[in-house]
Amino acid sequence: MRVTKAVITAASRGQRSLPLHTLVDRDGQEKTALRLLLEEALAAGIEGIAVIHAPGDAEAYTKAAGDLAGRMTLLEQTQALGYGQALLCARDFVAGESFLHLVGDHVWLSGTTQRCAAQLVARAQELRCSVSAVQATRETMLPYYGVVGGRRVAQTEDLYEVEELIEKPTPTQAEQQLLIPGLRAGHYLCFFGMHVLTPAVMDILARLVATGTRVPLAAALRELIGRERYVALQMRGTRYDLGTRYGLLQTQLALALAGENRDEVLAMLVEQLALRQQGLGN
């Protein structure tokens, strides 16, 4: 199993503008979120990248990609039938191969020298199965993510056999069905915004989308559990969701504090806190 293709989904109403926002990366350079996504995929050894966009967004996405525009293939989602249907738009592009999937409204910071997508791709190629990246997340964030339940793979610290998956569960559902032994109380394994998926996922999506109803990706992944091995990898890194309240601000702060201008940014934050303390801030 060799993963050489990636699919970035960015066509939903609440998501489509987020990849166009400009952030200052750790190296101090201004980059769009789309550019950061493309760099994440390329650093994982990906050779071809499809970006699923809404009608009318192709020109803006090409501009946002800058000199990496030639590394991506733009695919338009003409029917708004959900996340699963958006991913299915890339079925011909992936051509029956396993592929990396990145959501278009996230940015990731690795806790190691290896970037997050590269960690995920390496483990998926080793395990030769679908792997969803997950992060231990506090209960208050359950309304934003898909959540997996299962058991830790023997002799590992970061792999889990997925036995259950619920999209945006209630706290009661999570407590009853998704508890993971060893996690901190009140925390669950929530999706990280990236997956490596086998061709079986596209086959499942094609059948579900044919019904004409909105199809979440989680529905296909739930069915995958019963068809072939499917594991979750607890990532050594952090996801930043641009679509949450203050998500852009939090992401920018995280990039700045992880970068070469960290001291300058800390000084600015201290100054602002001092002004607030003195009642002088606006």
pLDDT digits (tens, 9 = 90+) for 11-70: 888 889 999 999 999 999 999 999 999 999 999 999 999 999 999 999 999 999 999 999
Sites in the chain below the pLDDT cut of 70: 280-282
Every domain of the chain and the residues it spans: 5-245
pTM of the shown model: 0.93
pLDDT of residue 280: 58
pLDDT of residue 30: 96
pLDDT of residue 282: 53
State CA 188 to chain mean position distance.
Answer: 17
Cα-flanking dihedrals φ and ψ of residue 166, to 5°?
-130, 130
pLDDT of residue 6: 98
CATH H superfamily, domain 5-245: Spore Coat Polysaccharide Biosynthesis Protein SpsA; Chain A (3.90.550.10)
